[in-house]
Chains A and B, each alone.
Chain A
């Protein structure tokens, strides 16, 4: 099977799966009952492409492979085609998307089983995989943008999946609209690049960055970054991600943790040759990433909804990835994408397992006559679940250790690499990198703390839900726990592909060798002259490990001892800070005041009035004109024969006139 054929198959299988579930379920309602069949087929539609990608990965020759299917549009000097590129970067991303995607599909079979919209769910999910693959495999910016928008659409569909509750629809709208702002910037960047470079193919754009004027490249990269802040939830366009937790939890795991939100990072890795030509923009990227990471970590500290904690954690970790990109270490950001996909998906799926169990507790309570409202996502009514859900508890703990950076876990290697690269860049004379490094260290401490907090409040201590002695949750079925185990295992060993340069002078940093331009890969790297001395490197590693251990231990002991009361102690100790963090820095209120309300007012009093008075007036006016005209004209029909005779004579006169003088 030729690689081109494999690429086509990888792209088409999820699309076929989406069409089958979606159109089949739509036109043949009887099909909707066969839930296991639908779920299995949908999972296979992603798992088989994973296998095919593995084959491509194994047989990859080192030369980028470009496959062109057909022309999308050709107008003037613009020629866009459905053209896909297989190289190291796209292979890594495809493996992540299809691999983690397949696991989450498997998980969803059990999680969504009782839902009426089961068939729709898998259709949307498969469609998402198709769009995401378009994004990561595209060989030109426009096709990438197609995938970019497509995943935005699927995100909208899936966030608002339970649309009967209007709040979910509002969250979906928010996600889509905020993303749209970023997409506008992306479009402007495309226009600019096309005008200057004459083509949007990556082959042409990235071949020689110095061919384009630096001003243009700076503006274009900045615009692309703004687009990335939308899709990858950074300041100022991150506000949609916490609200997106309204969707089903596997969706949160796949889209808002592992894949879609990492699109911005992939974009930057892809355009890394261009990005490296604009050091000023990179400063912005790094600082925005660092600030976002810190801000989100402080907010996560105050949240009680377990999914919100994970959402802000995702924002924070994405900030880390942008920190890496901002210091030129693009392959490290991809490394963190990889490890983050493992542990964050594990965390989300674990939380989904917990929520699933708490739903059953809620049902059981209702049956026993207890009719109070129980929020299955609120950690304040959890506690002690580890006893009842051992698999979930263990995998969640492993993932928590990974995200905190416990030594030798996946997160340890990737996060430390990011911090090291920031330090090294500062060592090479770029002062802003020191600030980035400092913020990163503080955020790492906070990360360890709030993640362990979420673990302890959920799984340790005494149960805090009503009638806890009689009503117990139980562990989730294997379709849900198997993916958890797989992801937890990957969170443990996944980091070993990127061993830091202290080990054998970076010879065993496999991911660097694979992706980095210095070894022939597609991801560009800056030229660094000053090397951090070996002792300092070991010191930094030790510092990273220490921070993780301190944060974890502090949180563990505090919350094991005091439980929820420790939050009260924090609130008392931190006062105004805690209040600002708990209020999420008032971002939503600010946007509402400054953007949403003025826009609504303009629409209601400006545009609506214009539409009603002018446009409707014109249309109705035409109708009225016709009616009036008709009223006048019909009066010709007097019914009296002589009037018609006059008309005939008039006609004769006109014809004679024409014959004589015409």
Chain B
């Protein structure tokens, strides 16, 4: 009972936050709506017993990435962009296409409606799978190479970002 309630609450809030992010005029508002969305998703991870990732989501995604976004927005001191005047038929076409994709994806999900009716694992098993231990073990044994590569990737991104944003390109 509580589980359903929690899920619906989190789901609706996530969708609402996403819509808010889309519609907001002020970029700062957009960013804040996105933060709310990320928190909701973290909540959803927790309902799935993926504890480690739920925490990581809050720490890294909401805590670091969004902060970065807000820094940049405020650094650039942006204002809201004006409304477009007349109907852009290109945009109508784009909207139709996206709705088409949505429909197709919903169809796919609906197709699998009777494939996996329940979780094949119990919550206890799921909690074990989602624990830091399990994740850590996999990361440091099977996925040790990608882990190292990710490290180098982050290093490269850091250097790249610094160099791109400098006043004079070195």
**Chains A and B touch each other in the complex, with CB atoms below 8 Å apart:** yes
Q: Are A649 and B108 in contact (CB under 8 A)?
A: no
Q: Are B98 and A649 in contact (CB under 8 A)?
A: yes
CB under 8 Å from chain A, chain B span 103-119: 104-105, 107-108
Q: Are A657 and B97 in contact (CB under 8 A)?
A: no
In whole angstroms, what is the CA distance A653 to B93 when docked? 13
The verdict on B145 contacting chain A, using a C-beta distance below 8 Å, is no
B65-82 interface code vs A (CB 8 A; 1 in, 0 out): 000000000000000000
In whole angstroms, what is the CA distance A652 to B94 when docked? 12
Q: Are A646 and B101 in contact (CB under 8 A)?
A: no
Chain B residues, Cβ within 8 Å of A643: 90
Q: Are B101 and A652 in contact (CB under 8 A)?
A: yes
Q: Are B104 and A653 in contact (CB under 8 A)?
A: yes
Chain B residues, Cβ within 8 Å of A653: 97, 100-101, 104
Chain B residues, Cβ within 8 Å of A646: 90, 93-94, 97
A638: nearest chain-B partner, CB-CB = B90
B98 CB to closest chain A CB (Å) equals 6
- Which of A653, A656, A660 has most B Cβ within 10 Å? A653
A636-662 interface code vs B (CB 8 A; 1 in, 0 out): 000000010010011011001100100
In whole angstroms, what is the CA distance A652 to B108 when docked? 14
Q: Are A656 and B90 in contact (CB under 8 A)?
A: no
Query: How many A residues, CB 8 Å from partner?
Result: 9
Q: Are A657 and B93 in contact (CB under 8 A)?
A: no
Chain B residues, Cβ within 8 Å of A649: 94, 97-98, 101
Q: Are A660 and B104 in contact (CB under 8 A)?
A: yes
In whole angstroms, what is the CA distance A581 to B133 when docked? 125
A633 CB to closest chain B CB (Å) equals 16
A649: nearest chain-B partner, CB-CB = B97
A638 CB to closest chain B CB (Å) equals 9
In whole angstroms, what is the CA distance A650 to B94 when docked? 8
In whole angstroms, what is the CA distance A650 to B93 when docked? 10
Chain B residues, Cβ within 8 Å of A656: 101, 104-105, 108
A640: nearest chain-B partner, CB-CB = B90
A642: nearest chain-B partner, CB-CB = B94
In whole angstroms, what is the CA distance A649 to B102 when docked? 11
B105 CB to closest chain A CB (Å) equals 7
Chain A residues, Cβ within 8 Å of B107: 660
B99: nearest chain-A partner, CB-CB = A653
A657: nearest chain-B partner, CB-CB = B104
B54 CB to closest chain A CB (Å) equals 30
Chain A residues, Cβ within 8 Å of B97: 646, 649-650, 653
In whole angstroms, what is the CA distance A653 to B98 when docked? 8
B142-154 interface code vs A (CB 8 A; 1 in, 0 out): 0000000000000
In whole angstroms, what is the CA distance A654 to B169 when docked? 42
Q: Are A660 and B93 in contact (CB under 8 A)?
A: no
B49 CB to closest chain A CB (Å) equals 31
A650: nearest chain-B partner, CB-CB = B97
Chain A residues, Cβ within 8 Å of B104: 653, 656-657, 660
In whole angstroms, what is the CA distance A105 to B93 when docked? 86
In whole angstroms, what is the CA distance A657 to B108 when docked? 11
B30-64 interface code vs A (CB 8 A; 1 in, 0 out): 00000000000000000000000000000000000
In whole angstroms, what is the CA distance A594 to B68 when docked? 96
B105: nearest chain-A partner, CB-CB = A656
In whole angstroms, what is the CA distance A390 to B94 when docked? 105
A646: nearest chain-B partner, CB-CB = B94
A647 CB to closest chain B CB (Å) equals 9
Q: Are B108 and A660 in contact (CB under 8 A)?
A: yes
In whole angstroms, what is the CA distance A650 to B104 when docked? 12
Chain A residues, Cβ within 8 Å of B100: 653
B104 CB to closest chain A CB (Å) equals 4
A656: nearest chain-B partner, CB-CB = B104
A559 CB to closest chain B CB (Å) equals 101
In whole angstroms, what is the CA distance A276 to B97 when docked? 88
A643: nearest chain-B partner, CB-CB = B90
In whole angstroms, what is the CA distance A653 to B95 when docked? 12
In whole angstroms, what is the CA distance A657 to B107 when docked? 11
CB under 8 Å from chain B, chain A span 603-662: 643, 646, 649-650, 652-653, 656-657, 660
What is B's interface to A at a CB cutoff of 8 Å? 90, 93-94, 97-98, 100-101, 104-105, 107-108
What 7 pairs between A and B have smallest CB-CB spacing? A656-B104, A646-B94, A653-B100, A653-B101, A650-B97, A649-B97, A653-B97
A–B pairs, 23, beta carbons within 8 Å: A643-B90, A646-B90, A646-B93, A646-B94, A646-B97, A649-B94, A649-B97, A649-B98, A649-B101, A650-B97, A652-B101, A653-B97, A653-B100, A653-B101, A653-B104, A656-B101, A656-B104, A656-B105, A656-B108, A657-B104, A660-B104, A660-B107, A660-B108
Known: A646-B97, A649-B98, A653-B104. 14 other contacts (CB 8 A): A643-B90, A646-B94, A649-B94, A649-B97, A649-B101, A650-B97, A653-B97, A653-B101, A656-B101, A656-B104, A656-B105, A656-B108, A660-B104, A660-B107
